[in-house]
Structure 1
Amino acid sequence: MQFLNMFFFDIYPYIAGAVFLIGSWLRYDYGQYTWRAASSQMLDRKGMNLASNLFHIGILGIFVGHFFGMLTPHWMYEAWLPIEVKQKMAMFAGGASGVLCLIGGVLLLKRRLFSHACVQPLPERIS
């Protein structure tokens, strides 16, 4: 069990980061003009405002929560905010931000996969 814990939380994040960076670098070098966002915002805005706002508010909440939660020393808040209260606030605010991000992400993914303005025929996707 100790090996799995060490692998998944100590080693695997570095493997995933290296694969991401090296893969992005190789894709940029060898397929530079195949990168495209394929944005369809101009063609179909239905559902875009709600999904995009939910996703971005959730991501910002997660970022701010991690920033303050990990970079704020205990001595700065322990006089007026007990640790248990801070942990409960982090759980509720983080949970709400995560749910907002998840709902917005699912709505954006649904729009991307099933909207006629977003979906391209298969031969155009391959090229």
Structure 2
Amino acid sequence: MSSYEIFLWVAFPWLCIVAFFLGMFWRWRTDQFGWTTHSSQIYESKLLRLSSPLFHWGMVFVIVGHLMGLAIPKSWTRSVGITDELYHVIATYPGTLAAIAVVLGLAGLLYRRVVNRSVFLATSGSDKVMYLFLGLAILSGTIATISLQLLGGPHGYDYRETISPWLRQLLVFNAQPELMADVPWQFKVHVISGFTLMALWPFTRLVHAFSAPVGYVTRPYVIYRSRDITASPARHHVAWEPVQSNKDQIDEEARWHGA
């Protein structure tokens, strides 16, 4: 293999992985207040209510499908009685529906950012870079799924013979770049764009994907005053009475003795 291919399928993925972990650590240490979605819901909510769930739920199924296809060897699915043909059907058709949902959701989010001026002005430079590479990763994966898996014949392209073992061996420091030599260009573009997005991840709003409101379930209640004018006033405890100054006490005693 050429040095270019070795860099592309060995060095580049590892550089992206290192950038991801170091970037996440740096972001957490230096910018915890910026660890957020930078929500623009205050500017527009109608399109957001439609596009955001479509995009995020579609991504959940896309990620689950990627984990199943890349992490689980073919021998494991065969051992539990799942034939290659059945696996292809299970992976392709739900994966295509999930991909369509993600594309439609992303299109709605992008349309909202471009058309709504307030949302557009709230879009930072890192947001624009993020949307560019996120869109490239999603579109390349969708094109690969539809052209090679859905329309590529009854069996499609068997990425579990090439891409999946290449990635697993890469992660255990046993790189085998030759496995990627004959992979269709659609999947190659998807892999490269996916790793590029991974490298950029810590420096964009995508960090919110690794946030979970765990502390919400244990935080104390927030107590508000009632707006009901018919509600009886709260009973004051004697310990909550204001402490009088010495002058107030003297004046009160004088009035008492004068009476």
TM-score by length of 2: 0.38
Instruction: Tell which deviates more after alignment, 34-43 or 47-56.
Output: 34-43
Indicate the structure whose relative CO is greater, using CA pairs within 8 Å and at least 6 residues apart. Answer: 1
**Is it true that 1:97 corresponds to 2:98 in the alignment?**
yes
Deviations 1:20-77 (A, max 9, x none): 33345445556x388364322133112112211211121111122233343372212x
Question: What is the aligned partner in structure 2 of residue 119 from structure 1?
Answer: 120
- Ranges in structure 1 where 5+ consecutive residues have no aligned partner: none
- Tell me if the contact between 1:39 and 1:118 (Cα under 8 Å) persists in the aligned partners: no
Q: Partners of 2:28 and 2:114 in 1: how far apart?
A: 25
Q: Partners of 1:95 and 1:10 in 2: how far apart?
A: 29
Tell me, what secondary structure is at the counterpart of 1:44?
A: coil
Q: Partners of 1:95 and 1:3 in 2: how far apart?
A: 35
In the TM superposition, residue 86 of structure 1 has moved relative to its aligned partner by 0.9
Tell me, what secondary structure is at the counterpart of 1:119?
A: helix
Question: What is the aligned partner in structure 1 of residue 108 from structure 2?
Answer: 107
The structure with the greater share of residues assigned to helix is 1
Q: Partners of 1:68 and 1:59 in 2: how far apart?
A: 14
Q: Partners of 1:62 and 1:92 in 2: how far apart?
A: 12
- Tell me if the contact between 2:51 and 2:108 (Cα under 8 Å) persists in the aligned partners: yes
- Bigger radius of gyration among the two: 2
Name the amino acid aligned to 2:44.
D
Name the amino acid aligned to 2:121.
Q
- 1:20-99 → structure 2 map (5 Å cutoff): 20-26=20-26, 32=31, 35=34, 37-69=37-69, 70-71=71-72, 73-74=76-77, 75-76=79-80, 78=81, 81-99=82-100
- How many aligned positions are there? 120
Judging changes above 3 Å, is the alpha-carbon distance between structure 1 residues 38 and 15 closer, same or farther for their aligned structure 2 residues?
same
Which runs of structure 1 show a deviation greater than 3 angstroms over 4 or more consecutive aligned residues?
A: 1-6, 20-30, 67-72
Judging changes above 3 Å, is the alpha-carbon distance between structure 1 residues 63 and 23 closer, same or farther for their aligned structure 2 residues?
closer
